[in-house]
Structure 1
Amino acid sequence: VSGHNILFACEVSWRLMRERMLADKPAIHELWRKLFALRRQVAANADKPDTRAYVWEQKSRFDYTPRDCRVFHTSIEKVVVPAASRVYERRRKRLGIETIRPWDEYVDPLGRTALRPFRRVTQLASGAANIFDRVDPTLGQYFRTMMAENLLDLKSRKHKADGAFCAFFELTRKPFVFMNAVGIHYDVQTLLHESGHAFHSLEMVNLPYGMQRNPPMEFQEIASLGMELLAAPYLADSGLYTPAEAARARIETLEDILLGWPYMALVDAFQHWIYENPTRGADPKKCDAKWSKLHARFIPDVDYSGIEIYRPTQWHHQGHILQSPFYYIEYGMAQLGAVQVWANALKDQAAAVQSYRHALSLGATASLPELYAAAGAKLAFDRKTLQSAVDLIETQIAELEKVAG
């Protein structure tokens, strides 16, 4: 299949999906009006001035403020958005197109077929075990124990729930990883991610009280996102990838980080605007308009010319906004922490992993800044820290390009 045919198929699929989403606009607007009114009432019932103040306390956000989030938004805009632009520009040139359209993000820019690293989930599990052995022998043993004790449900099958997660069985004090593997690279990445959560629970297992084993979300995701990066150098040792394939997979992961931060800032900035401006935030049409404006600010390189009708309603399908107010920026914060952990590992793998494991073992017995520090990172929102992370990612991408071919 030619590259142009693939792009055309992606465009057709994208438009069909967006048309279906657009059909839900009246229903989502009506639902939003009800949700917004209820959230304001909940905050008032709790003697809070607004929904944000209520959520901040509900989520135990004692170590950073809304102002810190605004600083983070600006830092991402000034530091990461230009790096994301460079990713888009490479993609544009390789695809041989004039501008990047929304559907152009979903194809391989060099026309390569999707990576298929395994056929059976036994291969996936075995490959992951090989990777974890290289990251740290104890982590490798943790994973092999999970394999032996049937604590992995990896294969997709009929009537199985979708998604992926890591659960923790309090009675036996053991983790359980659930996912839907179909043989693609994303499955490997998902297993690395969820295993990071599993390792977190195993490192905390000796803490006596349940609340001590419930660390803040902003750090829980360092366990998972950090493991993705700590494991990445060993993909080629898994038996699942050639060196060139491993390099290609790692490039995709690193580019996703650069493209992900601006979207995280978009979602969070949108929510702050909603609840800072309750009169306008209660009006879904004004929310649509604000989303479009913020989208252009944080993701300026995707061309919506002629299809502007689809952009304003994208927030309707970002479940966090509708279901869990202000839940999203945690991933951006944790991603920055994870890159710092990875940077340490590139200098001294054993020391970095030891710090990572020690931080995981603390559970919720330390503050958020203390947990980051224990992992060898800094809870940060500033441009300088982000710039260091972006510089490292771009340097690594350039090196990996030489191997990926």
Structure 2
Amino acid sequence: MKFSEMPYERVDMDEVKSFFEKLINDSKNAKSGEEQFELHKKYYKFVADIRTNIIIAKFRHDCDTSEEYYAKENDYIDEITPVIAQLDTEYNKVLFESPYRDYLEGKISKVAFKNIELANKSIDEKILPLMQEENALISKYDKIIASAKIPFDGEEYNISLLRKFLTDKDRDTRKRAWKAYSEYFQSVTDEIDEIFDKLVKNRSQQAKELGYDNFVELGYNRMTRNAYRRAEVENFRKQVKESFVPLVSEIQEKRRKQIGVDELKYYDNEVYFNDGNPAPTGTPEEILKAGQEMYRELSPETAEFFDFMTENELFDVLGRKTKKQGGYMDFLPKYKAPIIFANFNGTSGDVDVITHECGHAFQGYVTRDDEIKEHNDITMETAEIHSMSMEYFTYGWMDKFFGKRADEYREMHMMDSITFVPYGCMVDEFQHIIYDKPELTPKQRKEVWKDLEKQYRPWLDYEDDAFFSEGGFWQKQGHIFWNPFYYIDYVLASVVAMQFKVWMDKDYKEAWKHYLELCKLSAKDFYETELETVGLKSPFKDGTIETLASEMKAKI
């Protein structure tokens, strides 16, 4: 079914409560594991319908944040999702404590029960008002970002549409664009500080209510860290500081020479060539068409996937002034359909949507018929491997998008991917410090960011910019507001995707075979076990990052 034809029905909370009340009672009284699992299948169907309606409403709201009907539906969803999550947790506790647990574990996996354990520790009825307030604060931040109207060269742009000027080949143009960008954030920084301060205090209070010392451990449980914890992440960041920060410093010097400047400034950030970064040669429609040709050639599985996405209008990728910024993939369980949201803006990022977000969507598509819902409850450090690896697996088709500059795109993408690793770790360490010390003032939080930038991005020179030089850059990073401790998942996935890059350069077919195997494994096993199963190394083990940094250095 085409997305435009999919009906939306507001979730009836009386119906939801009634369903869960009966389900919980029936499940408690089940006389066998088989009977309990049959009841669980009813849960799958009901939750799929709820989830589908919620995604449709939020997706349509994101496509036009000024549209009144779906704006109200989005507010309603912010209110009801914590309640649904609590009911879901209460039901899963029944499974967790079931006398037939061995049978159920055999059906839905040990991973699922570990996830239930973490969910049980993450929510309670007494924190629902705080969770609702948290959702409202996030939506308030999103509205500030989505409603940005930035004057530049006689026109008005939102953040997504301004981006092409931030990486313009003309240095003066991008300097003025960064100034306009900075001035917008400077105009709203106090408001963003206030929102974030409330978020930090809100989340810290949730943690206290649930018996935690601070939000960090609760944040890990909310992110379903079922196979590693803080110590492993800290060791990973330490390896990145030792191996990737020096490598990225070398990349910055190479980039300085390539763009022909005496000193790199912040407005040179993410610019890789003197004549500008490679940009797609076609229109948005032509980019999508090239994507379809690429996936038809890559494999039978990707061909079927992309044709399905195209035929059912499951892309909304055109940038618009009232559209939420960013990009993501979601999944409509009722229709077994992935859906992709993005903001094309004429930069190489448009092609990254066709590779990265389609990597997510492809994985969702190949596992769409698995009746065990828990098998697709993928934790993010695994989910991001699917997307980031697809960026590398599609390198051979970049001429379809960039023409004669395809080689430059590949070089830029690889350098940018390596450069991202320290930045992602910096975002993660920032959040650990912030939630370890929720009493910090907004000014002190910006000082924390400034100090971390010296450690992770020592080459950056903000000159005397009033916003960025005072430690404000993090306010543009939505993940810090949306999902605490999510961002490190991108980094963990990125270094695994780089392992696939090394592998495919030696044996593309063998690497693709193991990538497809990883996609199909989904969430059936724990993170490091799945990596080992498909022949990849854990990022947490000493030596993995040092070896990888050496291998990637050789490629650039």
User: Would you call these one fold, judging by a TM-score over 0.5?
Assistant: yes
Residue 105 in 1 paired to residue 269 in 2?
A: yes
Q: How far is the alpha carbon of 1:269 from its aligned partner?
A: 0.9
Conserved? CA contact 1:166–1:175, under 8 Å:
yes
- 1:54 is matched with which residue? 218
2:374 equivalent among 211, 214, 221: 211
Q: How far is the alpha carbon of 1:216 from its aligned partner?
A: 0.7
What amino acid maps onto 1:73 in structure 2?
R
Conserved? CA contact 2:385–2:497, under 8 Å:
yes
Q: How far is the alpha carbon of 1:117 from its aligned partner?
A: 2.4
Q: How far is the alpha carbon of 1:40 from its aligned partner?
A: 1.6
What amino acid maps onto 1:322 in structure 2?
F
CA shift in 2, pair 1:314/1:125, >3 Å: closer
SS class of match (2:538): coil
- 1:90 is matched with which residue? 254
1:304 equivalent among 437, 452, 462: 462
CA shift in 2, pair 1:208/1:379, >3 Å: same
SS class of match (2:268): helix
1:324-335 to structure 2, matched below 5 A, reads: 324-335=483-494
What amino acid maps onto 2:508 in structure 1?
Q
What amino acid maps onto 2:381 in structure 1?
E
- 2:401 is matched with which residue? 240
Q: Distance in 1 between matches of 2:282 and 2:318?
A: 12
- 2:17 is matched with which residue? none
Residue 223 in 1 paired to residue 386 in 2?
A: yes
Q: Distance in 1 between matches of 2:197 and 2:541?
A: 35
CA shift in 2, pair 1:369/1:34, >3 Å: same
Q: Distance in 2 between matches of 1:166 and 1:382?
A: 30
CA shift in 2, pair 1:387/1:132, >3 Å: farther
CA shift in 2, pair 1:45/1:225, >3 Å: same
Conserved? CA contact 1:341–1:375, under 8 Å:
no
What amino acid maps onto 2:412 in structure 1?
E
What amino acid maps onto 1:299 in structure 2?
R
CA shift in 2, pair 1:110/1:33, >3 Å: closer
CA shift in 2, pair 1:340/1:95, >3 Å: closer
Q: Distance in 1 between matches of 2:287 and 2:204?
A: 47
RMSD: 2.5
1:184-333 to structure 2, matched below 5 A, reads: 184-236=347-399, 239-242=400-403, 244-279=404-439, 282-307=440-465, 310-311=468-469, 312-333=471-492
Conserved? CA contact 1:134–1:234, under 8 Å:
no
- List gaps (5 residues or longer) in structure 2: 1-166
Conserved? CA contact 2:423–2:456, under 8 Å:
yes
- 1:348 is matched with which residue? 507
Q: How far is the alpha carbon of 1:20 from its aligned partner?
A: 2.6
CA shift in 2, pair 1:233/1:303, >3 Å: same
User: Moved runs in structure 1, 4+ residues, more than 6 A?
Assistant: none
Number of matched pairs: 389
1:177 equivalent among 340, 346, 358: 340
Q: How far is the alpha carbon of 1:182 from its aligned partner?
A: 4.8
2:309 equivalent among 146, 151, 165: 146
Q: Distance in 2 between matches of 1:146 and 1:13?
A: 35
Identity %: 25
1:135 equivalent among 286, 291, 298: 298
Q: Distance in 2 between matches of 1:183 and 1:350?
A: 32
CA shift in 2, pair 1:120/1:59, >3 Å: closer
Q: Distance in 1 between matches of 2:211 and 2:168?
A: 58
Q: How far is the alpha carbon of 1:106 from its aligned partner?
A: 4.5
**Partner deviation per Cα, 1:4-46 (whole Å, 9 max, x = no partner):** 9921222222123213322333333333332222222100111
1:116 equivalent among 265, 269, 280: 280
Q: Distance in 2 between matches of 1:154 and 1:321?
A: 24
Conserved? CA contact 1:356–1:374, under 8 Å:
no
SS class of match (1:240): helix
Q: How far is the alpha carbon of 1:120 from its aligned partner?
A: 4.7
**Partner deviation per Cα, 1:57-104 (whole Å, 9 max, x = no partner):** 122112112111211222111111111111111122233333211001
- 1:403 is matched with which residue? none
- 2:155 is matched with which residue? none
Q: Distance in 2 between matches of 1:155 and 1:308?
A: 32
Q: Distance in 1 between matches of 2:530 and 2:394?
A: 21
Q: Distance in 1 between matches of 2:192 and 2:313?
A: 41
Q: Distance in 2 between matches of 1:380 and 1:46?
A: 31
CA shift in 2, pair 1:305/1:382, >3 Å: farther
Conserved? CA contact 1:200–1:223, under 8 Å:
yes
1:369 equivalent among 528, 531, 543: 528
- 2:106 is matched with which residue? none
Conserved? CA contact 1:196–1:226, under 8 Å:
yes
- List gaps (5 residues or longer) in structure 1: 398-405
